[in-house]
Chain A
Amino acid sequence: GQNIDQPTEMTATEGAIVQINCTYQTSGFNGLFWYQQHAGEAPTFLSYNVLDGLEEKGRFSSFLSRSKGYSYLLLKELQMKVSASYLCAVMDSNYQLIWGAGTKLIIKP
């Protein structure tokens, strides 16, 4: 079966750095996405990785290792407003998105 694993909840301190991990087992691989979702709102796109390595975009970075079936989302200089759920999704060989359950990030002052 297809499976995406990410921690249910993480807590970090304002101004710090946090890394949210995602491991996957899917039928084929055509890219991995990270989405941010605030409570009561729809997800918004953060990043897309299809090749191994690190993609940096301001305070957000996303890493992918295809051989390990592993990705992480790195958030730097945490601000209270990025308290949200972070969803990992993998596009399989049929170009369907398989969603993780999401990681709720709690940021404390």
Chain B
Amino acid sequence: GAVVSQHPSRVICKSGTSVKIECRSLDFQATTMFWYRQFPKQSLMLMATSNEGSKATYEQGVEKDKFLINHASLTLSTLTVTSAHPEDSSFYICSARDVKAHTEAFFGQGTRLTVV
């Protein structure tokens, strides 16, 4: 299956700092990438959908100025958590799809963010 690489897998940062998470599709063109967060024992919560070369579409309740998403190429999307607070501590997962091919979503390994 297709490979999506997400980095870093774990990060601990101080409150007030920013953290950047990268998501790369290694062997296919990811026209669309999705960013999810997942709290313990809960399902995936879609944060935003990003299409290559255009602005991300954020889900209701997700602050676009806090969660900055860039999808500048067909193989890379980044999520930056700005001015992180302890309540931002969560498991962040990206997934990538070639929407034109209507394929399933391939997931990155996830990033465990802990804000102290």
* Chain A residues at the B interface, C-beta cutoff of 8 Å: 30-31, 33, 40-45, 48, 87, 89, 91, 95-97, 99-102, 104
Contacts and interface: CB of A to CB of B under 8 A. Distances in A.
> Interface range on chain B: under 10, 10 to 19, 20 to 34, or 35 or more?
20 to 34
A87 B44 contact: yes
A102 B106 contact: no
Contacts of B44: 43, 87, 99
Nearest to A45: B104
Given A91-B102, A95-B99, A101 B107 contact: no
Contacts of B99: 95
Interface of B: 1, 6, 34, 41-44, 46, 49, 91, 93, 99, 102, 104-110, 112
B102 A42 contact: no
A31 B33 CA distance: 19
Contacts of B105: 33, 45, 89, 97
Of the candidates B34, B41, B104, B112, the one having the most CB atoms from chain A within 10 angstroms of its own CB is B104
Contacts of B104: 33, 45, 48
Contact of B102 (A30, A40, A101, A102): A30
